Chain A
Amino acid sequence: MNENAIVFEKVSKSYPLYHHIIGGIKRFIFNIPGALKAIKSSRYDALRDISFEIKKGETVGVIGRNGAGKSTTLGLIAGVMKCTSGSITVNGRVAPLLELGAGFNHELTGRENIILNAVLLGLNISEVKERMTSIIAFSELGDFIDQPIRVYSSGMLARLGFSVAAHLNYEILLVDEVLGVGDQQFQKKCYDKILESKQAGMTIVFVSHSMPEIEKVCGRVIWIENHTVKQIGETKQVIDAYIKAQENHG
């Protein structure tokens, strides 16, 4: 039996600085040796030697300054990127909570977008159809569900996205700073849903800059600083240390 949902062992991730060639094929062709050398020599270390374990059913917060490497960590968990060294084990299906409107098409209606988004995120068409009523009910969009989503406000888009996410098949949910939109009442609903998934035994990795949010949902917290793990532990402890460090920095 495997208790761990996610294991990072000495994981490092460096990004090649592709902008040397993104400049264009013309520049590349006219300066091939220079370009190749630039690609090889200029890599940017986004994560260095990161190790942690997340148990099944845990809700873990990830905090750190902008550019610390939080989104990179989630990208590695989701499998959209590979690490440069080290090893990553993920047990269970992963679903990301997408940012506002990602994967949506603005000309299609809310209902059409639900099917599109849910299938992209791993459901079969038959599964989406079974869950459609429930998804629409959760979104509270009422008659707007058959309007093209270009008429939606950002709060309504967030509702649509979260409603889809709440009905996916996954064991691991990744949330990267996306819960800041929508009205109070719907935000509360989102948190309730997250707490409910937690109760149901989901593993959740939660990136946020809002310490109250982190305190509300997370059992443990990973603090990433300078591209490596600064501290892992009980939520309260890590947050206190983090806040103190922020104050000292000015």
Chain B
Amino acid sequence: MNKRLRHYIDLIIVLTDKEMKLRYKSSILGYLWSIGHPLALALVFFVAFKVVMKIQMDNYALFLICGLFPWQWFQNSVTVSPTLFLNNASIIKKVNFPRNIIPFVSVLQDMIHFILSILVIAGFMLAYHKAPTLAWIYGIPLLLLVQFLTAYGASMFIASINLFFRDLERLTTIFMTLLFYFTPVIYPVSMVPERFKFYVNLNPLGPLMISWRGLFLDGKLELEPVLFAVLYAILLYTLGSFVYRTLSGRFGEIL
């Protein structure tokens, strides 16, 4: 194998291994801890919308779980991105390695964690007498790839820009909160008033989250949201790597 490629892969392996070790240091507790957050959110929304507001939906708890887990992956990947390069200043200033490995690995380990949490989703489905379908076999890898590209693009973009404008951290948090409520995660698209439906597809995360939930809840992928999701993934990835490539030559002097 090409020597540079070999080293690139080894870098990814070593850095991912490090992240996983840190995350699952007390292995089982680490896992419970990080599935705890989306589960707690699901509980909060269930109480607020089902118990209190009496939303007219069957299986609302399962519905929440199927949307909140993929959302949580994206949210985690984006929220840590402002500090990614900053936290590695000491080596970025001294060693000439491909720095986009850092956001790559960050998103990769969030993805691995999400894959592990699919078990939880499957568990809830069994409790609701639903079973995984054959579509999962191609649907999950496809959506994993699409979401990976989306999150990796966003992460490269934010991590790079934040070196130049150091106040992106709070801005990112605010933006993610807004995006969360504008994305059909805790409500179905069918409840969005007709005249706003158009905007759902303008949200880069909307079609992707709809696709995940369709895959888990109904066991199938709809063509339209998947196409939109792929389109946004390509757009965000292109934008992120363009910004990264334009700015990365200056990382060494700005840190």
Task: Please give the residue numbers on chain A whose beta carbons come within 8 Å of chain B beta carbons, in ascending order.
Answer: 15-16, 18, 21-22, 24-26, 28, 75, 78-82, 94, 96, 98-99, 102-103, 105, 107-108, 112, 115-116, 119-122, 124-125
Given A79-B96, A107-B25, A125-B10, do A116 and B90 touch, yes or no (CB 8 Å)?
no
A116 vs chain B, min Cβ distance (A): 6
* B91 interface neighbour in A75, A79, A103, A125, Cβ under 8 Å: A103
A24, closest chain B residue (CB):
B167
A174, closest chain B residue (CB):
B94
Task: Please give the residue numbers on chain B whose beta carbons come within 8 Å of chain A beta carbons, in ascending order.
Answer: 6-7, 10-11, 13-15, 18, 21-22, 25, 88, 90-97, 164-168, 171, 249, 251-254
* A28 interface neighbour in B25, B165, B252, Cβ under 8 Å: B165
Asked if residues A102 and B91 are in contact (CB atoms below 8 Å), the reply is yes
Asked if residues A108 and B21 are in contact (CB atoms below 8 Å), the reply is yes
A15 to B249, CA, bound (A): 13
Asked if residues B90 and A99 are in contact (CB atoms below 8 Å), the reply is yes
* A116 interface neighbour in B18, B92, B252, Cβ under 8 Å: B18
Asked if residues A102 and B18 are in contact (CB atoms below 8 Å), the reply is no
Given A80-B96, A121-B95, A125-B10, do A25 and B171 touch, yes or no (CB 8 Å)?
yes
Given A22-B165, A82-B249, A125-B10, do A107 and B22 touch, yes or no (CB 8 Å)?
yes
A101, closest chain B residue (CB):
B90
Asked if residues A120 and B11 are in contact (CB atoms below 8 Å), the reply is yes
10 sampled A-B residue pairs with Cβ under 8 A? A25-B171, A26-B167, A80-B93, A80-B251, A80-B252, A81-B252, A94-B96, A98-B90, A99-B90, A102-B91
B99, closest chain A residue (CB):
A80
A120 vs chain B, min Cβ distance (A): 6
Asked if residues A105 and B91 are in contact (CB atoms below 8 Å), the reply is no
B2 vs chain A, min Cβ distance (A): 12
Asked if residues B95 and A96 are in contact (CB atoms below 8 Å), the reply is yes
Asked if residues A98 and B94 are in contact (CB atoms below 8 Å), the reply is yes
Query: 8 new A-B pairs (CB below 8 Å) besides A22-B164, A124-B7, A125-B10?
Result: A26-B167, A75-B94, A78-B95, A79-B96, A80-B252, A94-B96, A112-B21, A119-B14
Contact residues of B: prevailing secondary structure: helix
Given A99-B90, A112-B21, do A21 and B95 touch, yes or no (CB 8 Å)?
no
Asked if residues A105 and B252 are in contact (CB atoms below 8 Å), the reply is no
The residues of B that contact A24 with a CB separation of less than 8 Å are 165-167
Interface centre among B21, B25, B92 (most CB of A within 10 A): B21
The residues of A that contact B97 with a CB separation of less than 8 Å are 120, 122
B3, closest chain A residue (CB):
A124
The residues of A that contact B251 with a CB separation of less than 8 Å are 80
Q: Shortest 7 CB-CB distances between A and B: which pairs?
A: A80-B252, A25-B165, A102-B90, A24-B167, A81-B252, A103-B91, A79-B96
The residues of B that contact A102 with a CB separation of less than 8 Å are 90-91, 94
* B164 interface neighbour in A18, A78, A80, A108, Cβ under 8 Å: A18
A129 to B15, CA, bound (A): 16
Asked if residues A108 and B18 are in contact (CB atoms below 8 Å), the reply is yes
B19, closest chain A residue (CB):
A105
The residues of B that contact A15 with a CB separation of less than 8 Å are 253
Interface centre among A26, A80, A99, A112 (most CB of B within 10 A): A80
The residues of A that contact B93 with a CB separation of less than 8 Å are 75, 80
A74, closest chain B residue (CB):
B94
* B167 interface neighbour in A25, A79, A103, A125, Cβ under 8 Å: A25
Asked if residues B165 and A120 are in contact (CB atoms below 8 Å), the reply is no
A179 vs chain B, min Cβ distance (A): 15
B164, closest chain A residue (CB):
A21
B95 vs chain A, min Cβ distance (A): 6
The residues of A that contact B90 with a CB separation of less than 8 Å are 98-99, 102-103
A120 to B249, CA, bound (A): 18
* B94 interface neighbour in A22, A28, A78, A108, Cβ under 8 Å: A78
The residues of A that contact B171 with a CB separation of less than 8 Å are 25
A201 to B54, CA, bound (A): 78
B7 vs chain A, min Cβ distance (A): 6
The residues of B that contact A124 with a CB separation of less than 8 Å are 6-7, 10
The residues of A that contact B22 with a CB separation of less than 8 Å are 105, 107-108
The residues of B that contact A120 with a CB separation of less than 8 Å are 11, 14, 91, 95, 97
